[in-house]
Amino acid sequence: MTKIELYDTTLRDGAQTWGITFSLDDKLRIAQKLDEIGIDLIEGGYPGSNPKDKRFFQLVKALNFRHARIAAFGSTCKADLSPEKDPQLQALIDTGTEVVTVVGKSWDLHAREILAVPLERNLSMISESLSFLRSHFKKVIFDAEHFFDGFKRNPEYAIATLKAAQPSSDVLCLCDTNGGALPSEVMEIIHELRKHVHKDLGVHCHNDSETAVANSLVAIESGVTHVQGTINGIGERCGNANLISIIPALSVKMKRIQIEPEKLRLLKHVSEFVDEMANRTPNKAQPYVGASAFAHKGGLHSSAVFKNTSAYEHIDPDIVGATRNFPISEQAGRAALAQKASQYGIKIAPDDPRVSEILKTLKDLEAQGARYDIADGSFELLMKRMLGLHKKFFTLHGFNVTNSKRQGDTKTYSDAVIRIVVGDRMEFSAAEGNGPVNALDNAFRKALGNFYPSVNRVHLTDFKVRVLEGTSGTGATVSVLIESTDGEDVWWTVGFNQNVIQASWSALVDSFDYKLQKDMAETLDG
């Protein structure tokens, strides 16, 4: 079996994503994660473009990689300079890496109109630059930029650029830089190309036509042995080919690469880690690793998966570190609810009469505005209450929220007063906040903290308000979703009401109640 080389460009091409900025520390930490999942080559950056990338190549030498090698990225020499005098080529040499990737124009349009050089000069820039770098690196990769667009418009010149690079390169990487190619075109072009060049081929696809992963896989089926991409498909415009999808496709489905099971199981973790470094919310619908990738909401689907997982799953989610999930909603069936209960440590059979009762209550509440398919925390509390497994830690005796705006002041002041009962003791608490919900949160936390200090570890990390009946205007029912964490787990709770403050309060109460129930369960288990 011909070895397929995995090349990651998250730290360079991925870093060009709109809204993403990786710090130097971020880049070093991501590089270590990429090594853990078996990436062969990690493109560290463009040392000739900025000091941060230059510093990365200095610091990465101190890291102990078990598998991966670091590649430096640069471009061919400038038209008015020889390679020996081009400072950005010297910057590549100064990195001290074993591998270098050099990008050059393979579309005549770019040579004429972007570089504004004669076509022959572009060819000499490619050959001279690579020849100069050949003696300084163990492996040289030529990225043929805009290759597929160039081939479709002037195949002879596109091939000429590869022939110019061929003598000094180990890999000729064909780039779909504009992301406009289709799988059938990629296959046809690679097959034709094989008649003219005789070096290992690579592929680098962008996702502007939603075909980057498909194009990469088709290219490998057509004989390409080097594939470039990024974690989660991040990259400029619509992104790059997603290695999180490519790796399991090559390993599990196509049997073209061999990756240890423990490395494959890290895919979900690495996907979430890169999103964290990028300060992005993970895409729930991302294939293989997204929260909904193996989520079965419909009753028919849930029932089938409960009997045989392969009925609605293309692979076992555990292979990539993902988990099977059964979001509970009005479409849920008895099997799905029983399966969901087992995730909460509750043993109940699908034919238990209480299951039908819970489903009826669930459908009634969702008709009013609850969203239990998202708010797992609130659904667990609902189920435990209905099954008599819920402990009541406190009782609410009322709250009051006031908002005031003083003349000439741009700030609105919010104050909240609440009264709760814990055991035989009544507790009053007051607090202010930057809004009514924040004031309620502060007051409630303050009151509960006197009895249950662990609630002070709960932090609200997201707050979403959705209008359910838009035709009712400002009197519409709203659903409020709150995401909370205690530093270990994350949970969602929901509240719904025509009054947004009441809906927020319900979600807030469930958030703290969930934490207390969780602490109790952990104490009993211990």
* More confident: 335 or 329: 335
User: Does residue 298 carry a pLDDT above 70?
Assistant: no
DSSP assignment of 264-327 equals HTTHHHHHHHHHHHTT----TT-TTTSTTTTB--SHHHHHHHHH-GGGS-SS-GGGGT---B--
Contacts of 363 (CB under 8 A, 6+ apart): 330
Note the pLDDT tens digit of each residue in 105-160: 999 999 999 999 999 999 999 999 999 999 999 999 999 999 999 999 999 999 99
Q: What is residue 3's DSSP assignment?
A: P
Query: What confidence tier does 367 reach under pLDDT thresholds 50, 70, 90?
Result: confident
Q: Are residues 238 and 382 in the same domain?
A: no
Answer yes or no: is 287 within a domain.
no
Answer yes or no: is 286 within a domain.
no
pTM above 0.85, yes or no: no
Q: Are residues 145 and 238 in the same domain?
A: yes
Answer yes or no: is 135 within a domain.
yes
Query: What confidence tier does 172 reach under pLDDT thresholds 50, 70, 90?
Result: very high
pLDDT at residue 259, as a whole number:
94
pLDDT at residue 324, as a whole number:
76
Q: What is the CATH number of the domain that holds 436?
A: 3.30.160
Answer yes or no: is 462 within a domain.
yes
Q: Are residues 84 and 226 in the same domain?
A: yes
Answer yes or no: is 525 within a domain.
no
Note the pLDDT tens digit of each residue in 456-508: 999 988 888 887 665 555 567 888 889 899 988 889 899 988 888 999 999 99
Answer yes or no: is 355 within a domain.
no
Give the end of a domain, one of 430, 451, 472. 451
Count Cβ atoms within 10 A of the Cβ of residue 55 and give its class: 0-12 exposed, 13-18 middle, 19 or more buried. middle
Structural domain of residue 303, as residue ranges? 299-348
Q: For residues 112 and 97, what is the distance between their CA atoms, to the nearest angstrom?
A: 33
pLDDT at residue 302, as a whole number:
55
Q: What is the CATH number of the domain that holds 466?
A: 3.30.160.340
pLDDT at residue 475, as a whole number:
60
Query: What confidence tier does 311 reach under pLDDT thresholds 50, 70, 90?
Result: confident
Q: Are residues 217 and 329 in the same domain?
A: no
**Cβ-based neighbour number of residue 254 at 10 Å:** 14
Q: Are residues 311 and 432 in the same domain?
A: no
Report the SS3 class of residue 384: helix
**Percent residues over pLDDT 70 in the chain:** 93
Q: What is the CATH number of the domain that holds 218?
A: 3.20.20.70
User: Does residue 454 carry a pLDDT above 70?
Assistant: yes
Note the pLDDT tens digit of each residue in 72-86: 999 999 999 999 999
* pLDDT, average across residues 325-341: 68
Q: For residues 482 and 478, what is the distance between their CA atoms, to the nearest angstrom?
A: 13
* More confident: 37 or 406: 37
pLDDT at residue 375, as a whole number:
83
Q: For residues 435 and 414, what is the distance between their CA atoms, to the nearest angstrom?
A: 5
Q: Are residues 373 and 417 in the same domain?
A: no
pLDDT at residue 463, as a whole number:
85
Q: Are residues 116 and 130 in the same domain?
A: yes
Answer yes or no: is 331 within a domain.
yes
Q: Are residues 32 and 62 in the same domain?
A: yes
Note the pLDDT tens digit of each residue in 214-253: 999 999 999 999 999 999 999 999 999 999 999 999 999 9
Residue 505: closest CA among 443, 440, 448: 440
- Helix H or strand E segment including 191: helix 183-193
Number of domains in the chain: 4
Report the SS3 class of residue 357: helix
Could you tell me what percentage of the chain is helix, strand and coil, using 3-state DSSP and rounding each to the nearest 5? 45, 20, 35
pLDDT at residue 292, as a whole number:
86
Answer yes or no: is 364 within a domain.
no
DSSP assignment of 72-109 equals EEEEPPPTTS-GGG-HHHHHHHHT--SEEEEEEE-SHH
pLDDT at residue 326, as a whole number:
65
pLDDT at residue 366, as a whole number:
78
pLDDT at residue 110, as a whole number:
96
Partners of 103 in beta bridges:
75, 143
Give the end of a domain, one of 243, 277, 311. 277
Contacts of 347 (CB under 8 A, 6+ apart): 341
**Cβ-based neighbour number of residue 283 at 10 Å:** 16
Q: Are residues 445 and 477 in the same domain?
A: no
Q: Are residues 320 and 439 in the same domain?
A: no
Answer whether 29's CB lies under 8 Å from 277's CB. Answer: yes
- Helix H or strand E segment including 514: helix 500-525
Report how far apart, in Å, the C-alpha atoms of 256 and of each of 157, 172, 220, 252, 298 are: 32, 20, 9, 8, 35
Answer whether 458's CB lies under 8 Å from 484's CB. Answer: yes
Contacts of 35 (CB under 8 A, 6+ apart): 42, 65, 66, 67, 68
Q: Are residues 329 and 419 in the same domain?
A: no
Give the end of a domain, one of 315, 348, 381. 348
Answer whether 212's CB lies under 8 Å from 242's CB. Answer: yes
Count Cβ atoms within 10 A of the Cβ of residue 324 and give its class: 0-12 exposed, 13-18 middle, 19 or more buried. middle
Q: Are residues 313 and 199 in the same domain?
A: no
